[in-house]
Structure 1
Amino acid sequence: MNLTPGATSIVCMLSIVILSTVNCFTALAQEPAPKRVMVEIQKKDATTLKGKLLGIARDTVRFLDADNRERRIAMKDIRNIEYVDSLSVRSQWFDSPNTTRYLLTNSGVPLRKKDIVIQATYVVLASVQYGLSDRVSIGGGTELFTHSTYYLNTKVNLVNHAKYKFSAGASYYRLPKEFLTDVYNDDIRNLGMLTAASTWGGENHHLTLGAGYIVTEGTLTPPIVTLSGTTRIGKHFGLVTENWFLFVGEKQVELPVLLSLGLRYISKRSSLDFALFTDHKFNDLNMFPYVGYALRLRK
């Protein structure tokens, strides 16, 4: 078939357009898919979610959670979005299962809703904590062999910002006979405690200033002040310290202090603590060990 010079020009132009379009689509198809960014989403109801960001459209965030399920959250329900550096070693760490407790005292970090923490101290003292909501938890514990000692407690989170948390709590203790006496040498069997804790920092590194008041026979004793902290030094290890400042009467008497430093082994669901307590004189004879275990069952 013979074409006129005009028709030939048109065919050539169409061929160029078609080839250019095919090459464009081929190049797009060969481009790698954009890398999904890891994010930590902090909601206004104190819930924290981690996953891969898929996109933001029409005031809605789409992302894949830890179970690889796509979820959507309205922007109005989000307090903050933090982008996790994928090149950082810390981004490869799993969440610590023990953020609510140091050795014997609690941090201001609340237990998540429906999470359960099972704890054992010196093997013989066991307790269970349960998150009623993202701000309120309840729990109790006992001595496993004789059951002569048990306690009940509750904890309420009042402030839950990204880097600062404040919680208050109350506990009731039933003590064994002749374990504790008052100034009149009367046996104290029932004991109450009111506590408060302010925590600064993130999940892997935080510092807590706490205070506790013991209530016996309707009398409020002078405060017990604690300064505790933990820092994660690796994927499976962290350092933990808990220090008690005891008061007697209306003022401190020679600053009675209990100091401690310990090592925490961290796995995905549990932690194991080993620490040494001593007094302010740092006398080797006054050192005593601490061993504790915590297992966290997440919802």
Structure 2
Amino acid sequence: MKSGFFFFAFLFLGLLILPFTVTIAQEVQDEILTYRIKTKDGNEFIGQIILEDEEKIVLETEKFGEISIRKSDIQSRTLLSSSQVVNGQLWFENPQATRYFFSPNGYGIKPGETYYQNVWVFFNQFTFGITENFSFSAGMVPLFLFAGAPTPVWLNPKFSIPVVKDKYNVGAGALLGTVIGGGGAFGVLYGVNTIGNRDKNFTLGLGWGFSDGRIASSPTVSLSGMVRTGPKGYFLTENYIISTGFDTFGLLSLGGRRLISNVGLDYGLIIPIMTLGDGFFFAVPWLGFTVPIGKK
């Protein structure tokens, strides 16, 4: 009976996300070279360079039309991607486009980039971009601060492969952990398929958990989505069907990501599905942030 409930719950989520995936698959964006020009007097302009010589550049902007800027007055010139500029307005870059709340998608971070993620103070994780297709994370829950309690630590190597650039990516990796001061090895082997770009995507994943040399006979299924809602916001959902071998239950989550300068603030609710069948409902709040600390 519960299995049927889980099936229809995930079917509903799939139908909810389907319009976004259809839109994603149909989007074709032309590459337009758009720049952000910062001048030494503190002004900032966004537009396309239509003329450049040794002394000046002429910028075509959405707000001011054509403006001429002397090169001696320019503090910096940054090339922006087409997704960063909407109707002449700068949309902040997603500081954690490779993950939802926690689970990864098929995208990877760029070589040399690093970001730090914290959830409810105790969960700490750093992610490093090594190559265009490989990254790894290292994390810890520092319980040793409480009278030397056993402390979980983990590594997470991940490969990301663009099948169709900015439209379809696949990824594979492993979360490899242990508990310092007690307990053995644990982790997850996983693969993900992501449809869409870094601002609007949908991911189907499969993961096999293991502990003390034993691996799960049934995979955990994940269904996640991310949709940009404006210059500084995202809608996030991350959902699981988990089989323990004895029972099957689900986790649903809904929330968002708010961009504050270059920091991402994640918030939402996690809802265990198994409690619904017992006539009892509760939700666990999620609160975390992500800070990029590597080169851009």
Aligned partner of 1:123 among 112, 121, 124: 121
Deviations 1:246-287 (A, max 9, x none): 1233xx95x511001012111342201111111225566421
Aligned to 2:239: 243
Aligned partner of 2:158 among 155, 158, 166: 155
Aligned to 1:223: 219
Give the strand-richer structure, 1 or 2. Answer: 2
Aligned to 2:200: 205
Paired with 1:279 and 1:90, the residues of 2 have a C-alpha distance of 42
- Greater shift, 227-236 or 138-147, is seen at 138-147
SS at the partner of 1:290?
strand
Superposition deviation, residue 196 in structure 1: 1.1
> Residues 233 and 256 of structure 2 are in contact (CA less than 8 Å); yes or no, is this contact kept in structure 1?
yes
1:172 and 2:181 matched: no
Deviations 1:113-166 (A, max 9, x none): 100010001111111011011111112111134271111111111335220111
Paired with 2:88 and 2:155, the residues of 1 have a C-alpha distance of 36
SS at the partner of 1:101?
coil
> Residues 84 and 93 of structure 2 are in contact (CA less than 8 Å); yes or no, is this contact kept in structure 1?
no
User: What letter is aligned with 2:236?
Assistant: V
User: What letter is aligned with 1:107?
Assistant: N
Q: Trace 1:57-136 onto structure 2 (pairs within 5 A).
A: 67-68=76-77, 88-89=86-87, 92-136=90-134
Paired with 2:233 and 2:77, the residues of 1 have a C-alpha distance of 27
CA radius of gyration, larger in = 1
Higher RCO (CA-CA < 8 Å; seq separation 6+): 2
Aligned partner of 1:39 among 16, 33, 36: 33
Aligned to 2:282: 286
Paired with 2:153 and 2:139, the residues of 1 have a C-alpha distance of 5
> Residues 92 and 232 of structure 2 are in contact (CA less than 8 Å); yes or no, is this contact kept in structure 1?
no
User: What letter is aligned with 2:221?
Assistant: V
Aligned to 2:28: none
Q: Which runs of 5+ in 2 are unaligned?
A: 1-30, 35-46, 52-74, 145-149
TM-score by length of 2: 0.66
Q: 1:109 to 1:91 in 2, by over 3 A?
A: farther
Q: 1:69 to 1:296 in 2, by over 3 A?
A: closer
Paired with 2:94 and 2:109, the residues of 1 have a C-alpha distance of 12
Question: Which 4+ residue blocks in structure 1 deviate beyond 4 angstroms?
Answer: 51-55, 82-86, 281-285
1:256 and 2:249 matched: yes
1:214 and 2:218 matched: no
Q: Which runs of 5+ in 1 are unaligned?
A: 1-36, 41-50, 56-65, 71-81, 179-187
TM-score by length of 1: 0.65
Q: 1:115 to 1:259 in 2, by over 3 A?
A: same
Superposition deviation, residue 205 in structure 1: 0.9
